[in-house]
Every structure is written in structure tokens, then in C-alpha cells.
Amino acid sequence: MPLVPMRVLLDHAAEHDYGVGAFNVNNMEQIQAIMTAATETNSPVIVQASRGARSFTNDAYLRHLMLAAAELNPKIPIAMHQDHGNSPATCFSAIDQGFTSVMMDGSLMEDGKSPATYEYNVDVTRQVVKRAHALGVTVEAEIGCLGGIEDGHGAGLTGDEALAHLTDPGEAERFVADTGCDALAVAIGTSHGAYKFTVKPTGDVLKMDVIEEIHRRLPNTHLVMHGSSSVPRELVDLINRYGGKLKESYGVPVEAIQKGIKHGVRKINVDTDNRLAITGAIRKVFAETPEKFDPRDYMKPAREAMAQVVKERMIAFGQAGWADRIPNVTLEDMAKRYR
Ligand code: G3H
Ligand code: 13P
Ligand code: ZN
């Protein structure tokens, strides 16, 4: 099956009350891990690439790897998504590269750090919606700012500052009407990376009530949770047991995500958990068998470790079992629908 618009997957997920994990990739093994998990669980797939991933893979490698994934897995619908596009130009170049979905993150300025005004966000998002929808490509937008600044992306907000930049439900309602975006990323207290919360999060810092209110106002908009890694203790421990130096921290509990799915969350972004799984597996091989130097000796267990995490998330989010029941809708079909 050719790559499909992400909107098709999110519409199906909304119709059947489940969520779809969106997993970041930077190389062949990560794409393979996701496809293994998807075939073993019959799950639809959202693969996403950040700007950093696109520059790391030089676009062309990524495009051909994704085409290989589609060719080898004809029964699995796959959407290819630009994560955190920082400008219309980034989104347009992604579309030119065959991405079937883009995120225009106008919550921050083009530097990916400074919080933007509402007007700026509407302006850049509208530009992207206009061009993307004409081609059947899905658009995710963001209102409110995530905390943290790991991975070079984010406003660097800490604690109270991040809580002050949570998505305002009234503004979210206006923003969707003003832009026509398909999916909306909301800020509810999460941040990217391994250090989200210093204690197990409660409703004071992980604001699931904000999601509920936004969903009440926007029942037909697909909500997106960024920074949704759970940072499993066993993966952090594994890394540290084999020479790593990760600090203790808490991620977003899977049960919180499941609650979000009951309130309109359809796309759940996960990158860090897969990074942890890969790093733990590689460190283990290096520590236990230091004589090994064939990359396959450590990339294979790394790929398996990531596939296991992705599989667990696909089951927990409820997307398992649906891949072969999703209608085949092309970009052209979607473009007609938008018209
Ligand atoms: O947006 C955050 C994702 O984890 C991607 O991170 O920009 O380091 O590729 P990255
Ligand atoms: P994590 O760092 O929690 O995996 O979040 C990834 C993300 O939101 C990518 O956009
Ligand atoms: Zn994100």
C-alpha cells in the first residue's frame, strides 16, 4: 500500500475510540522495528521524522526507507509525518519529499525556541493548511507550549513557566476555527526527553483535565499528546547498570495516555522510550561481550528492544488489530474531500 494521509488513520481511530502511536525514526533499524511491531499486532503506523532526523538521513535515504517499508508491508497503512515543522518552508519541503502529513508548529517561532503570538501561529498554520490540503496532506498544529528544551526543540520552560503556557481551551477552539487544521497538539504539562517529572506525576502537573475540556469544546478535532514517553524504570536501570548515567525521572504513565484516548487523543508521540530501549540493548552487548565489533551484533538486539516497546505501546493505545480494517484512501481522494 502506498503511504496514506495521516487523517485517514486518525479518523478511523476516532470512529473506533483508539489512539495511534507516532514513533520517531532516524535510521533503517528504527523503521524496521516499528514495522515488525505493526505486523505482529496488525497495527496502522505513523512514522515521524524531526528536522534533525531529516538532516541526519539527508531526506533521500529516509524517503527510500519508507518506500521500502510500504513495499514490504502492503497490508499495513503507513503515514509519514514531519514532526515539529518550524516553518511553512520546512513543511513544504517535507511534502515535496513524499511526507503524507506535516506538523506546522507555530507555537514557537522559526528558531524552535521562542514562544510565538497567536496571530503568528494562525498565519503560518493557515499557509500550510492551504497548500497541504490541496494535495491531500494532513496538517497537525500546536497551541500552547511544551515544557523543557531537550533535543534542541522547545521553549526551555520549567515547572511553573510551563504550567503558564498550557493550552487554553477557549483559544484552542478559536485556533481550529481560524486554521482548519486536522489535528491539534496540546500542552498539558509534558515535555520532550527523559526528564519530564521528578516525581510520579499527579493531576497538578500532568493536566489531563485540560484535555477533557478541549475535547468537550472540540469533539471533532483529533488531539495529539507530545512528550508521551513513559520513561520505564527498567530501561533507565538497564542503561545505568551497563555504564550509563541517567538521572531518576518519571514519564507519562500509560494509564494517563489511555485516559486521554477516552477524551479525544488520537496521536501519541513517543521517541525517548525507543531511544532508551536501543541504548540499553547496545550498552549490554558492549559491556558483556567487549570483544564484539560487528554492528549487527548490537544493532539486532537494539532493533528487537525497540520493537518490543513499540509493540507494547500499540497494544496499550488500542491500535492493534485494526490495520487491515482501515479503508484505502489516497492523497488524491483526500484532496477531493478537502475541496
Ligand atoms: O521532538 C522531539 C523528538 O524527540 C525528536 O527529537 O529533534 O532530537 O530528532 P530530535
Ligand atoms: P518523548 O520525548 O516523550 O518521546 O516525546 C517525543 C515527541 O513528542 C516528539 O514530537
Ligand atoms: Zn513533540
Q: What is the pLDDT of residue 151?
A: 46
Task: Specify the 3-state DSSP secondary structure of 20.
Answer: strand
Phi/psi-derived region of residue 240, left when phi > 0, alpha when psi is between -120 and 50, beta in every other case: alpha
Q: Which residues pair with 24 in a beta bridge?
A: 48
Atom of ligand 2 nearest to the CA of 271: 4
153 lines ligand 2 (CB under 6 A): no
150 lines ligand 1 (CB under 6 A): no
Q: What is the pLDDT of residue 309?
A: 98
Find out whether 189 and 162 touch, Cβ atoms under 8 Å: yes
C-alpha cell at 100: 503524507
Distance of CA 25 to the CA centre of its chain: 10
Atom of ligand 1 nearest to the CA of 84: 1
DSSP character string of 109-137: -TTSSSBPPHHHHHHHHHHHHHHHHHTT-
Q: What is the pLDDT of residue 174?
A: 98
24 lines ligand 1 (CB under 6 A): yes
Q: Which residues pair with 270 in a beta bridge?
A: 23
Average pLDDT across each block of 10 residues of the chain; the chain has 339 residues. List them in order.
94 98 98 98 98 97 97 97 98 98 97 94 98 98 78 62 85 98 96 93 91 96 97 98 96 96 98 98 98 98 98 98 96 98
Q: 180: CA distance to ligand 2 center in Å?
A: 24
Which ligand is nearest to the Cα of residue 145, counting in written order?
Answer: 3
Q: What is the pLDDT of residue 158?
A: 66
At a CB cut-off of 8 Å and minimum separation 6, what does 171 contact? 118, 143, 144
Q: 191: CA distance to ligand 2 center in Å?
A: 7
178 annotated active-site: no
**Cα separations (Å) of 77 from 30, 65, 70, 322?**
17, 15, 8, 10
Instruction: Determine if the pTM surpasses 0.75.
Output: yes
Atom of ligand 2 nearest to the CA of 275: 4
Instruction: Determine which helix (DSSP H) or strand (DSSP E) holds 23, and give its type and residue range.
Output: strand 20-24
Find out whether 268 and 308 touch, Cβ atoms under 8 Å: no
Q: 339: CA distance to ligand 2 center in Å?
A: 33
Dist. CA 210–CA 71, nearest whole Å: 40
